[in-house]
A and B are shown apart, each in its own frame.
Chain A
């Protein structure tokens, strides 16, 4: 990557984290099960990736009780949206250069 002279965001360059942000970029809040079902990432891994993204303030979580059961909703932050857009632009540049 560095050979191409681009400073790519390592945190979201990982495929699971990239796909989490891609799944959230529409703006709606989604729950853990939805992400698991649509991204096909194992329980523990998904939790770790979500935590990393939350630590960087790319996503925000909100815990609520639904029928006395805890449920966590995830939502992308403006910072996360910007990071994803920046990375997409950079990836597109790479694709254009490689043609």
Chain B
């Protein structure tokens, strides 16, 4: 490689990098969508049961939804999507940074939930704080997803932030809406991811 070809080679290499890099889309949007649906359903069921005065089954709703539905569905969808991507000759690497981020968010969320549930005095009068804690943690996760995966997560984060502010101003009586809307923003991000992927396929 001599100096005269250098500029040409750098351009060529940039082109190779552009063609072979991860597209800025969330190919795992069905996973996002499934979590969004599960979270929305969870808050909806909890809200309806609480309104009906049925408090006993509340503690089982989330474990059942997460361990019996969300995680097996997550495993199945990830496996199917990975196989589809591998057919194209690319094997997506495990995103350790993302996994760590969401494990951290979940751990902190569960710790806050446990702490607030155990200090019964606080939770009985300020139970809605939990919704705000989880929504704030999700917001951070969405920003990380937006930076590391694709931009629709930043939109979802903006919508979630706006919802937190609006629902805070509306008062504690409306805080269950925030729970519903957390799942809603995930569905929103999943649908945007789907739209982006379809657009990319059409362009190709």
A interface list, Cβ under 8 A from B: 1, 4, 13-15, 18-19, 22-31, 33-34, 37-39, 73, 75, 91, 94-95, 98
Contact = CB atoms under 8 A, between A and B. Distances in A.
B12 interface: yes
Interface stretch (B16-24, B61-69, B112-120): B16-24
Given A15-B9, A98-B3, A28 B22 contact: yes
B9 A28 contact: no
Contacts of A1: 1-3
Interface string B88-99: 111111000000
B6 A23 contact: no
A19 B16 contact: yes
Contact of B22 (A26, A33, A39): A26
B27 to A, nearest CB: 11
A37 B7 CA distance: 23
Interface of B: 1-3, 6-7, 9-10, 12-13, 16-17, 19-22, 88-93
Contact of A30 (B1, B2, B13, B91): B91
B88 A34 contact: yes
Given A15-B9, A22-B16, A95-B7, A27 B89 contact: no
B91 A73 contact: yes
29 contacts: A1-B3, A4-B3, A13-B1, A14-B1, A15-B1, A15-B12, A19-B12, A22-B13, A22-B17, A25-B17, A26-B22, A27-B22, A27-B93, A28-B91, A28-B92, A28-B93, A29-B90, A30-B20, A30-B90, A30-B91, A31-B91, A34-B20, A34-B88, A34-B89, A73-B91, A91-B10, A94-B6, A95-B6, A98-B3
